[in-house]
Amino acid sequence: MTEKRRIRPGSRLLLGITIVFGTLGSVYAAALLADFALDLMGVASPPVRLGVKVIATAAALPAGFYLVERAFLARNRTTFRKTPGP
């Protein structure tokens, strides 16, 4: 009754690569957005700017990881659909 799931060739490597680049992209995007928002507000203090960037980056890391994980779960869900039995 148990079905053996097949893993796509290279799927773990692809997941690792996308997690790394998704994390780097989310850190970069968070720093850019925080810098842009601080420029709009007119904040010039370097410690405040750094603190806001750190907080934005810390919030963006789980979000980037979550988006990559959801993309791979959706990819696997379409691959391993159960077919109706006889």
Token representation of residue 54: 């750190």
Distance CA 37, CA 42 (A): 9
Instruction: Assess contact for 39 and 81: CB atoms under 8 A.
Output: no
pLDDT at 30: 94
Q: Which residues contact 72 (CB under 8 A, 6 or more apart)?
A: 11, 15, 18
Sequential pLDDT tens for the chain (86 residues): 455 666 556 677 888 888 889 889 999 999 999 999 999 999 999 999 999 999 999 999 888 888 888 887 777 666 555 555 55
Residue 35's closest CA among 18, 64, 57? 57
Residue 26, Cβ density class (10 Å: 0-12 exposed, 13-18 middle, ≥19 buried): buried
pLDDT at 18: 85
- Share of the chain residues as helix, strand and coil, in percent rounded to the nearest 5: 75, 0, 25
Residue type, 22: G
pLDDT at 78: 62
